Chains A and B, each alone.
Chain A
Amino acid sequence: AQSVTQPDIHITVSEGASLELRCNYSYGATPYLFWYVQSPGQGLQLLLKYFSGDTLVQGIKGFEAEFKRSQSSFNLRKPSVHWSDAAEYFCAVGTYNTDKLIFGTGTRLQVFP
Chain B
Amino acid sequence: DVKVTQSSRYLVKRTGEKVFLECVQDMDHENMFWYRQDPGLGLRLIYFSYDVKMKEKGDIPEGYSVSREKKERFSLILESASTNQTSMYLCASSLGQPPYDSGYTFGSGTRLTVV
Contact = CB atoms under 8 A, between A and B. Distances in A.
| Binding partners A and B | yes
Q: Is the interface of A mostly helix, strand, loop or mixed?
A: strand
- B interface bracket (residues with beta carbon within 8 Å of A): 20 to 34
Interface stretch (A17-25, A60-68, A88-96): A88-96
Contacts of A36: 106
A99 B40 contact: no
Interface of B: 4, 9, 31, 35, 40-43, 45, 48, 50, 58, 90, 92, 94, 96, 98-101, 103-109, 111
Interface residues of A, number: 25
A96 B43 contact: no
Interface of A: 9, 32, 34, 36, 41-46, 49, 51, 90, 94-101, 103-106
B103 A46 contact: yes
Contacts of A9: 40
